[in-house]
């Protein structure tokens, strides 16, 4: 396995600046997800690690050894993509064995390694079949097995399950998590799906516009987002943003003055006269629960079996909250919404541009 470190890493495509001098340090055996919207630089970063893209500036190091000038084939990096690209004329066994045979491994070792990985990936009954007729989930597992059979130092996964249906994605997430636990590979998982990133990774690197916005555990990026972009991109349902004006040690939202928690007061002083308060739907409730209360009007209730998502208009701002299945609101109904002040996040104004 390998520790991966980037120093002032830059990628330009002509005049287009895709990655803007980022730095990160991924520990040996760590599972890191690179999360962000399309065009944020996450795939370019992964491809530079793999050696598939030339580095425009800075350097990448494996175990403190610069690899900028080392060819992709010599980096011992395995990759799995959304497009699994199996060879249809040959059997599943030969598909998995392909990189081993290409490296000149003897037949008995090839046979042992293929059967070992096939057993762990629940593919042994399929080894004599050809890829035609495999389900999408089975084909993706074959693709993963073909990458893993090489015993790489680094395992890179680029949107590997985004095309699968919901049930298959849940199953493949378990496989990928178990692969990391079983083999202890250094793994980098590129995705735009924040649920996948939070569920799988030891740490999440959130990117936007070619820069790292935050890198931390799933808990850190969810509960202590570094900025409004991270707060809005991570979390489902999305965080609510409410405009506020500062009033001493408090804030005013739609005419309601709120005393902010002691821990948030330094942040309020940094922001200045006005900003946006962020609160996640799970930390809001209908009625007066003894926290911050705001008045609003019901918009719609989405009934989702084990919970309801309720949308409420507070002044000109529409927010959502998670409620019990027994709770619902009617359109136009006067309601009171409570906010747990411990989970109130404060951000500067101007976040709309970040979510376009």
- Domain boundary among the residues 232, 253, 280 is at 232
Query: pLDDT tens digits, residue range 25-61?
Result: 999 999 999 999 999 999 999 999 999 999 999 999 9
Q: What's the pTM?
A: 0.88
Q: What is the pLDDT of residue 168?
A: 81
- Domain boundary among the residues 191, 208, 232 is at 232
Q: What is the pLDDT of residue 354?
A: 42
Q: How many domains does the chain have?
A: 2
What is the distance between the alpha carbons of residues 338 and 327, in angstroms, rounded to a whole number? Answer: 14
Parallel, antiparallel or unpaired: strands 31-35 and 203-208: parallel
Q: Are 110 and 159 in contact (CB under 8 A)?
A: no
What is the distance between the alpha carbons of residues 47 and 44, in angstroms, rounded to a whole number? Answer: 5
Q: What is the pLDDT of residue 353?
A: 39
- The boundaries of the domain holding residue 44 are 4-232
The neighbouring-strand residues paired with 17 are 12
| Least confidently predicted of 30-39, 116-125, 342-351 | 342-351
Parallel, antiparallel or unpaired: strands 292-303 and 334-339: antiparallel
Residues 253 and 208 in one domain: no
CATH code of 282's domain: 2.40.50.140
Residues 219 and 310 in one domain: no
CATH code of 189's domain: 3.40.50.300
Between the alpha carbon of residue 176 and those of residues 22, 142, 171, 196, the distances in Å are: 27, 13, 9, 11
Residues 115 and 60 in one domain: yes
Q: Are 320 and 302 in contact (CB under 8 A)?
A: no
Please, which residues have CB within 8 angstroms of residue 193's CB and are 6 or more apart in sequence?
Answer: 35, 162
Numbers of helices and strands, H then E, in the chain = 9, 20
Q: What is the pLDDT of residue 229?
A: 95
Q: How far apart are the first and last CA of the chain?
A: 39
Which range, 73-87, 92-106, 139-153, 171-185, has the best average confidence (pLDDT)?
92-106
pLDDT at 18 over 90: yes
Residues 196 and 272 in one domain: no
Residues 126 and 206 in one domain: yes
Residues 128 and 30 in one domain: yes
């Amino acid at each position: 396995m390998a520790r991966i470190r980037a120093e002032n890493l830059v990628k330009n495509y002509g005049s287009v600046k895709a990655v803007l001098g980022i730095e990160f340090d991924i520990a040996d055996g760590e599972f890191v997800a690179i999360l962000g919207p399309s065009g944020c630089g996450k795939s370019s970063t992964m491809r530079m690690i793999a050696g598939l893209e030339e580095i425009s500036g800075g350097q990448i190091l494996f175990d403190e050894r610069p690899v900028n000038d080392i060819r992709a084939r010599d980096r011992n990096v395995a990759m799995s993509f959304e497009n699994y690209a199996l060879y249809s004329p040959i059997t599943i066994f030969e598909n998995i064995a392909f990189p081993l045979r290409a490296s000149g491994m003897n037949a008995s070792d090839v046979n042992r390694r293929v059967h070992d990985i096939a057993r762990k990936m629940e593919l042994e009954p399929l080894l004599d079949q050809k890829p035609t007729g495999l389900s999408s989930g089975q084909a993706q597992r074959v693709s993963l097995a073909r990458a893993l059979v090489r015993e790489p130092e680094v395992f890179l996964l680029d949107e590997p399950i985004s095309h699968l249906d919901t049930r298959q994605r849940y199953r493949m997430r378990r496989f990928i998590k178990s692969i990391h636990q079983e083999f202890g590979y250094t793994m980098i998982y590129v995705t735009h799906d924040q649920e996948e990133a939070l569920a799988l990774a030891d740490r999440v690197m959130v990117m936007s516009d070619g820069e790292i916005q935050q890198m931390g555990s799933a808990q850190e990026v969810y509960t202590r987002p570094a900025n409004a972009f991270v707060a809005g991109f991570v979390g489902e349902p999305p965080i609510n943003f409410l405009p506020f004006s500062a009033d001493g040690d408090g804030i005013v939202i739609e005419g309601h003055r709120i005393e902010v928690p002691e821990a948030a007061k330094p942040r309020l002083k940094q922001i200045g006269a006005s900003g946006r308060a962020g609160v996640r739907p799970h930390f809001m409730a209908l009625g007066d629960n003894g926290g911050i209360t705001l008045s609003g009007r019901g918009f719609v209730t989405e009934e989702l079996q084990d919970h309801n998502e309720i949308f409420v208009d507070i002044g000109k701002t529409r927010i959502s909250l998670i409620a019990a299945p027994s709770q619902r609101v009617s359109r136009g109904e006067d309601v009171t919404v409570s906010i747990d002040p411990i989970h109130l996040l404060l951000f500067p104004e101007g976040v709309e541009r970040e979510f376009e």
